Chain A
Amino acid sequence: AQSVTQPDIHITVSEGASLELRCNYSYGATPYLFWYVQSPGQGLQLLLKYFSGDTLVQGIKGFEAEFKRSQSSFNLRKPSVHWSDAAEYFCAVGARGTYKYIFGTGTRLKVLA
C-alpha cells in the first residue's frame, strides 16, 4: 500500500542548530515528493518538490531535501534553524499521472531561543 511515514511527531532544536526531518515513503513507482510547512492557524505552504533529475533539491527559506531511492527517503534539512521555523512540517507523495497525494502525519518543530 502507498504510505508516507514521518517517524518524529515532535522535534525540538536550539536556534542556530542544524535540522533534519525524516520522511520515508512506500510507493510502487517513482513518485513526486513534496515538503510543506504549516504555521499555526494557516494553510500549508510548499517548501520544495522533487520530480526528477538532481536528487538534492533546494527550496525556500534555506531548506533542502535529498531523495534517496535506495532508502525510500526524502529527508528535509536546514543547516541553521531560526526561531521563525517553528511550525509543523508535512511530507507528501504525489502519484504520477493521477490526482492522488498522500500526506504524512506531520512533524511539529519547536525552536529554543
Chain B
Amino acid sequence: DVKVTQSSRYLVKRTGEKVFLECVQDMDHENMFWYRQDPGLGLRLIYFSYDVKMKEKGDIPEGYSVSREKKERFSLILESASTSQTSMYLCASSLPPGQENSPLHFGNGTRLTVT
C-alpha cells in the first residue's frame, strides 16, 4: 500500500511566521501535490511536482512556495503566514498520468491555524 505521511496533523502558527509543511511518500511516485481543503470549496491545487526539483503552479499558488530536493519528499512553504491560510492541507502522490495506477494517494492532512 502507498503511504503518504505528513509530518504534522495540527499546527498553530502566528501571522508572519514562516511555516514548513512536510510530506513523504514511500512508493517511488514521480508526482507529488499540495492541496488545500476548505468547506464548500472542495480541494484546490496549490503546487505540484512531476520530478525532483521540478514544480508547477496550481490554481492558488499565491503566498506559497514548494521544494522537492528528493523524490520522496515534497515540502510546502508559507513564506509569511496569514490568517487567510488557515486551512486543511493535503499532500498527495501519484504515478505519471496516463497510467491506470495514477490515482492520487493522500496523506492524512495537516490542519493549520494561523492566529
Checking B42, B48, B106 against A105 with a beta-carbon cut-off of 8 angstroms, the contacting residue is B42
Max chain A CB contacts within 10 Å: which of B31, B90, B92, B104?
A: B104
Size category of the A interface is: 20 to 34
Checking B4, B100, B104, B108 against A101 with a beta-carbon cut-off of 8 angstroms, the contacting residue is B104
Pair B97/A98 contact, Cβ less than 8 Å: yes
User: Which B residues are within 8 Å of any A CB, using their own CB?
Assistant: 4, 9, 31, 33, 40-43, 45, 48, 50, 56, 90, 92, 97-98, 100, 102-109, 111
Checking B31, B103, B109 against A99 with a beta-carbon cut-off of 8 angstroms, the contacting residue is B31
Q: B50 — which chain A residues lie within 8 A by C-beta?
A: 99
Pair B100/A51 contact, Cβ less than 8 Å: yes
Q: Contacts A42-B109, A43-B4, A43-B108 given: A105-B97 contact, CB under 8 Å? A: no
Query: Complex: how many Å from CA A101 to CA B40?
Result: 17
Number of interchain pairs (Cβ within 8 Å): 59
- Give A83-113 as 1s and 0s: 1 = Cβ < 8 Å from B's Cβ atoms: 0000000101011111111011110000000
Query: Complex: how many Å from CA A105 to CA B108?
Result: 18
- For the complex of A and B, the 10 pairs showing the least CB-CB separation, nearest first, are A43-B106, A105-B42, A103-B43, A44-B106, A43-B108, A103-B42, A46-B103, A43-B109, A43-B107, A51-B100
Max chain B CB contacts within 10 Å: which of A9, A98, A101, A105?
A: A101
User: Which A residues are within 8 Å of any B CB, using their own CB?
Assistant: 9, 32, 34, 36, 41-46, 49, 51, 90, 92, 94-101, 103-106
Nearest A residue to B90, CB-CB: A43
Q: B33 — which chain A residues lie within 8 A by C-beta?
A: 99, 101
